Chains A and B, each alone.
Chain A
């Protein structure tokens, strides 16, 4: 490393701080890349189609963005804490299926069903975290196992109980009207309906950002992701922090599962399958390092926004939607490369 760097020449502290200009301070924020990307994409799609920036169009692409955004917040926190959760996607399916089956098949009160689903999901998150911390194996392989197991359970148990691969009829269960305003209502703005899940997304993002930046838990998250040994050495409860992070992802999956079920009033056994990678893409576009210890919740949310905009924008622009995945991959590559550059830039200029 740097053994030649001598102590800085005597000068007033303020003078030296002033050398870090506003531009540099902005550029070193982890979410700046995703923000620029989102603005560029917005301009691009807006130029191609006027529907894209009409209020109804915005409402349209905020829909998918919000559900992915809620998950991206949890996944980003976990990634900053140094881990992946490949089971995050199918967990949203598990949550929806538990609520749907217990209410429509067994007549459970929908509020009790929601709590039961939350308890089960938190249990899954705990197990993920416990196995990762206990074995010391990469979370990639542990959660790949839970991903496959849950995928199998979602299908097998649902078919065992209902005989089909889809559970519907949630809208007719008693007290559904009491959860609808919270999970499936619409807010009218200038004559255009916006789904309530967008509000949830903004709230979760705000809480996530606050927790990460301003609380002890957020500090520990950065620490265990950046250097688990050093954080243990200074007294950070690394195991507890990691397990909690896995449970946060599961709690997000519970919320998304409940939101999706309430809006669509039915749930497929395949729900969430394949989405886990999109959450990770959103988090990486948002500036999270794959190695942990660095990243932004707001960035991850913007990453989800980029996903939503591209998803719908391609349709509005009249492009073949077959190209969507290609664009997504290209953006991911661009994001990873620029993140790496930005980080190096950040460390160099702050010296």
Chain B
């Protein structure tokens, strides 16, 4: 690993009019490292990746690529700096064959002038070989990509980004719509991309997917950072506790208790889980109370216990 990280984001903020979408976000991505960005719906994950991908521009703070301060005005610029974004299921054209999808936008051609034509043989072979290198063994690269499973589609998009010289790979919730097995497949390719020396930004709301592959974890909540931790600084339990937002689960359990019957049973289950998570201990260890409201509830919880 070199001294300058591939990407370094320092105190970046983004405003949409009077709405604060992101405030003081800090994290970094090194070579051959995976940085996980965790957060619930509406936490600002999409805004964050859109700044990195060149769709939005940050309003404050610093965004450095390999030591240079940058401000991308288009996704193309980000691509040219080696930052490739794989959007959740928005990266492929379903009716098109796998190999055409693989080279879409960067087709290999032969011949000159008006006779320039697609080098279909080379593209077919390259696509097959590149996918195989990522461990995806396809029956036929001519099949429409829509016939592949969700996990396989994500993997084709990842393999494509790797082939076209991406240094940093941004994955927008690649496992969100997938089952357990398929998620595992995608995680495997994330590790493979890291092995090949890429920096990976892995956006997810699932700490169980993030912890095994991540080297660094940045947690987002309501547009603010809950902290940016190296793997050595945080345990899986602490990460889960921060993500789950113990206080919110507790509020939910109270609500369910009120409704009685089967809901009350569920409430007890959740309460047990909250205790298991030990949110308070995690926060104390990390010195990062999630929000003021959360601290208050945590204090109340502590009193209750006492």
Residues of A within 8 A of B (CB): 1-8, 10, 13, 16-17, 20, 210, 214-216, 218-219, 222-223, 226-227, 229-231, 233-236, 289, 293-294, 346-347, 350-351
Contact = CB atoms under 8 A, between A and B. Distances in A.
A1 B177 contact: yes
A41 B163 CA distance: 49
Contact of B96 (A2, A210, A223, A347): A223
A235 to B, nearest CB: 4
Given A20-B140, A216-B109, A2 B150 contact: yes
Contact of A17 (B75, B95, B96, B139): B139
B266 interface: no
A10 B95 CA distance: 26
9 contacts: A3-B149, A4-B181, A13-B137, A218-B118, A222-B93, A230-B92, A233-B90, A234-B105, A236-B104
A231 B101 CA distance: 9
A8 B137 contact: yes
Given A16-B140, A219-B107, A347-B144, A226 B179 contact: no
A226 B150 contact: no
B85 A233 contact: yes
B116 A226 contact: no
Interface in B73-100: 75-76, 79, 85, 87, 90-96, 100
B235 interface: no
A351 B148 CA distance: 7
Contacts of B85: 233
B149 A214 contact: no
A4 B120 CA distance: 32
Contact of B93 (A227, A347, A351): A227
B146 interface: yes
Given A1-B150, A216-B116, A226 B95 contact: yes
Nearest to B118: A214
B4 interface: no
B144 A233 contact: no
Contacts of A214: 117-118, 120
A13 B109 CA distance: 27
B79 A226 contact: no
Given A1-B150, A8-B137, A20-B140, A226 B105 contact: no
B106 interface: yes
A3 B178 contact: yes
Given A293-B93, A293-B96, 17 more contacts: A2-B149, A3-B150, A3-B179, A5-B149, A7-B152, A7-B185, A8-B139, A20-B140, A215-B117, A216-B109, A219-B103, A227-B94, A230-B91, A235-B79, A347-B144, A350-B140, A350-B143
Contacts of B178: 3
Majority SS at the chain A contact face: loop
B149 A219 contact: no
Contacts, number: 107
Interface string B50-88: 000000000000000000000000011001000001010
Contacts of B122: none
B147 interface: yes
B90 A230 contact: yes
A324 B105 CA distance: 44
B182 interface: yes
Contacts of B76: 235
A1 B120 CA distance: 30
Give the residue among B87, B105, B181 with the most A Cβ atoms within 10 A: B105
A351 B152 CA distance: 12
Contact of A236 (B90, B105, B152): B105
Nearest to B161: A234
Given A5-B149, A231-B105, A226 B96 contact: yes
A39 B110 CA distance: 37
B116 A215 contact: yes
Contacts of B137: 7-8, 10, 13
B104 A231 contact: yes
A230 B76 CA distance: 14
A17 to B, nearest CB: 5
Contacts of A235: 75-76, 79, 105-106
Contacts of A233: 75, 85, 87, 90-91
A229 B90 CA distance: 7
B91 A222 contact: no
Nearest to B79: A235
A230 B90 CA distance: 5
Contacts of B96: 222-223, 226, 293
Contacts of A230: 87, 90-93
Contacts of A7: 137, 152, 185
A216 B104 CA distance: 9
B181 A6 contact: yes
Contacts of B106: 234-235
Contact of A4 (B75, B91, B104, B179): B179
Contacts of A210: 117
A209 B71 CA distance: 42
Contacts of B116: 215-216
A285 B196 CA distance: 48
Nearest to A228: B93
A233 to B, nearest CB: 6
Nearest to A235: B105
A103 B117 CA distance: 39
Contacts of B179: 3-4
Interface in B100-147: 100, 103-107, 109, 116-118, 120, 137-140, 143-144, 146-147
